Amino acid sequence: MIRLVDLIKKGGIILNLKSKEKVEVIKEMAKVLIDKGLIDPPEEFFKEILKRENLESTGIGMGIAIPHARTKAVKDLVLVIGRSEEGVDFSSLDSKPSYLIFLVSAPEDKKDEYIYTLAKISKLLRKDDVRIKLNKAKDEEEALAIIRDYEVP
């Protein structure tokens, strides 16, 4: 059973995203994984994730965006969480900015785990309590604890 907290590497929760624009936000979040050697080559990763951004709205509304990609450029299923104070335009269906951004990437051969993870995140973030608490979390530990508490096995 996949637990979201297990997919987040150290430094994988950025509570004060500096970038304001969608592509820059994705790059800022991906940097955590690039620096750890978990994305290689980065160009391949960005090609895949930005292609998806052009085809669909990964902003699912309620202030949430889940940019994602299945690509040869990663070897493990990984999750990076970012929070933007001002919000970022992810072309959400409700036309509102996204404040919580969950970046998911998986190897090409892990389709089932990838879909399971995306579904799990989407379900988790529909809960008002989770969004409110994550938007108020003071540090990485607190954010991790919130996810752990609400994660249904």
Q: Which is nearer to another protein, 31 or 150 (CB)?
A: 150
Quote the least distance from Cβ 152 to another protein, whole Å. 7
Quote the least distance from Cβ 129 to another protein, whole Å. 13
Q: Which is nearer to another protein, 86 or 152 (CB)?
A: 152
| Position 86, amino acid | E
Q: Which is nearer to another protein, 119 or 132 (CB)?
A: 119
Contact residues: another protein, CB under 8 A: 51-52, 55-57, 60, 70, 93, 111, 115-116, 118-120, 122-123, 126, 152
Q: Which of 82, 63, 74, 59 is nearest to 113 (CA)?
A: 74
Quote the least distance from Cβ 80 to another protein, whole Å. 18
Tokens (6 digits) for 36: 């750890």
Q: Please, what is the end-to-end C-alpha distance for the chain in angstroms?
A: 7
What one-character DSSP code corresponds to residue 95?
Answer: -
Cα-Cα-Cα-Cα torsion 79, 82, 88, 93, nearest 10 degrees, comes to 40
Quote the least distance from Cβ 84 to another protein, whole Å. 21
Q: Is the dihedral of CA 82, 40, 23, 35 positive or negative?
A: positive
Q: Which is nearer to another protein, 19 or 61 (CB)?
A: 61
